[in-house]
Structure 1
Amino acid sequence: MAGQLQLVVACTLAAASGLVLWILEQGHERRQENNAGRPGRYERGMREREYVRLIPDGEMLLVRSLLRRIYKSRGWTIDAASRERAWAGVLATAQTQAGGSWPMDFQPCDVTSEQLQALCLAVEQTFLGGLLSAQIRKSRRPRLQVELAVDPRDPHSWLSGLHEDNTIYINANRWRESISDVSPLDFEGTLCSSKLEALAHALGHELVHAVVLNFFPEMDATSPAYIPDDKHGPIFMLLNKRLFGHTGHACRRLFTVEG
């Protein structure tokens, strides 16, 4: 009787072990099938449905959770019409005295630090609901600063840049040309017909970097889903699109209309 019991137990354990191995093998095969069509690394020009698959599940959960918080805090939906009204509101605020009394076509030599801070605050409050500033205070990190100067790290290649101390450099030597209806600028999928509009969108771009730096410092430092393409990888692309409506991370002149 004891021998039969031992045999039954042994058979049961063998069957259970076989079942566990089968489950593991099936799971591995499913993962292989799921990954078969998955791109191996991020490449510029990928569509959203392609690059989001490169974001690890844990990081995606954090990003989606933050997006929900921001949508709730800013109090407006993410449809295109609402986003256009939000950008129009930023420009309207910027032209008021409280917003810096910005002209649509400014000259770099006339811009003050107070104007830059006011414009950055308008973009941050409108599109991030003030959560970035709150996170910076909570983390006791340096507050956001905007300076119109030559970026010592990148003086020529871009309109602006964020540093680790939360300073956004607006490269003065890149803001001398006129932007207008007859000489517009395509900023990451948005047609800008004034220098002020382009600057507001450039600040939005840098605020995406500030969001990752201050909410997710580990992602900022090491995530393969963020650091590719000079920190314009899938996480940046997703946040840039979902928060500001930007596609890509490049700007270019479209045409010049001569009278």
Structure 2
Amino acid sequence: MAGQLQLVIACTLAAASGLVLWFLEQGRERRQEPKSGCPGRYERGMREREYIRLIPPGEMQLVRSFLRSIYNARGWAIDAASRERAWADVLITAQTHAGGNWPLDFQPSDITSEQLQSLCLAVERFFLGGLLSAQIRKCCRPLLKVEMGVDPRDPHSWLSGLHEDNTIYVNANRLRESISDVNPMDFEGTLCVSKLEALAHALGHELVHAVVLNFFPEMDATSPAYIPDDKHGPIFMLLNKRLFGHTGHASRRLFTVDG
């Protein structure tokens, strides 16, 4: 009788333990579900582990292969320290004669087309290893071009925008506002303390769009993992983070507007 009672107790404890484990597993799975509650729908604010599941396997394979090529071409690791050094190298290069003699602070009216081109190419060289420019030439598409002024397609754009002809428009009005160490700007998770730094990061953002446009034109046109949120869907978010260390795709306006 005592043996049967012990057996019943053991079975009851085992069943209870199994039930507890089941509830814990269900809770873990619910925590990993996208915030929208709909696995197939992207919403701004999702974390990487949420939005990455929305990228179709075939497209994810292409993106991962592309990232491996970039990492090999640019020749540095993907850790935060290496990425910070690369951004520092961009700014150092930009301030040299060959890089355009950029000042850290500037007025948009004083900037030349040559300076804009030099800065864009520096960002592309340090972070993309020159592969984007090579792909554009290979496909006989218009070369990357940067223009300061007002985007004719979107005059109210925040800092910049990319067009189908590989032209990046930089919003001159936004760069009249002060950016400094006491009046910084949070650009997609990076604290920028100069106009030059903010502009370099803005160009990096647009180069992500240029990557998709020139390497993956079908994704650019139709992919549900790219086109949501004005082409800032999961594919953009993943590339923006893995290539440039950017989180999100918006900037907090931490600075005041000069009169």
Cα deviation, 1:135-173, whole Å, max 9, x if unaligned, reads 000000000000001101111132000000000000111
Aligned to 2:205: 205
Q: How much has 1:175 moved relative to structure 2?
A: 0.9
Is the CA contact 2:76–2:82 (under 8 Å) kept in the aligned structure 1? yes
Letter in 1 for 2:199: L
Structure 2 stretches lacking a partner, 5+ long: 1-28
Aligned partners of 1:153 and 1:81: how far apart in 2? Answer: 37
Cα deviation, 1:168-198, whole Å, max 9, x if unaligned, reads 0001111101100111000000000000000
Aligned to 1:110: 110
Do residues 242 (structure 1) and 242 (structure 2) align?
A: yes
Do residues 131 (structure 1) and 122 (structure 2) align?
A: no
Aligned to 1:74: 74
Is the CA contact 2:179–2:255 (under 8 Å) kept in the aligned structure 1? no
Q: How much has 1:252 moved relative to structure 2?
A: 1.3
Work out the percentage of aligned pairs sharing the same amino acid: 85
Root-mean-square deviation (CA, aligned residues, Å) is 1.5
Aligned to 1:11: none
Deviating above 2 A after TM superposition, structure 1's stretches of 4 or more consecutive aligned residues are 36-40, 253-256
Do residues 91 (structure 1) and 113 (structure 2) align?
A: no
Aligned partners of 2:128 and 2:159: how far apart in 1? Answer: 21
Aligned partners of 2:196 and 2:129: how far apart in 1? Answer: 21
Letter in 2 for 1:239: L
Cα deviation, 1:58-116, whole Å, max 9, x if unaligned, reads 00000000000000000000000000000000000000000000000110000000000
Is the CA contact 2:232–2:249 (under 8 Å) kept in the aligned structure 1? yes
Aligned partners of 1:92 and 1:113: how far apart in 2? Answer: 19
Structure 1 stretches lacking a partner, 5+ long: 1-32
Is the CA contact 1:156–1:174 (under 8 Å) kept in the aligned structure 2? no
Aligned to 1:140: 140
Aligned partners of 1:238 and 1:157: how far apart in 2? Answer: 22
Is the CA contact 2:185–2:191 (under 8 Å) kept in the aligned structure 1? yes
Is the CA contact 2:178–2:255 (under 8 Å) kept in the aligned structure 1? no
Cα deviation, 1:26-84, whole Å, max 9, x if unaligned, reads xxxxxxx9xx9462300000000000000000000000000000000000000000000
Aligned partners of 2:33 and 2:232: how far apart in 1? Answer: 23
Aligned partners of 2:157 and 2:56: how far apart in 1? Answer: 30
Aligned to 2:26: none
Aligned partners of 1:162 and 1:255: how far apart in 2? Answer: 24
Aligned to 2:179: 179
Letter in 2 for 1:162: L
Aligned partners of 2:100 and 2:157: how far apart in 1? Answer: 27
**1:28-47 matched pairs, under 5 angstroms:** 37=33, 39-47=39-47
Is the CA contact 2:226–2:236 (under 8 Å) kept in the aligned structure 1? yes
How many equivalent residue pairs?
223
Letter in 1 for 2:100: G
The 3-state SS of whatever aligns with 1:175 is: helix
Q: In structure 2, do the counterparts of structure 1 residues 177 and 58 end up closer, same or farther at CA, with 3 Å as the change threshold?
A: same
Aligned partners of 2:139 and 2:233: how far apart in 1? Answer: 25
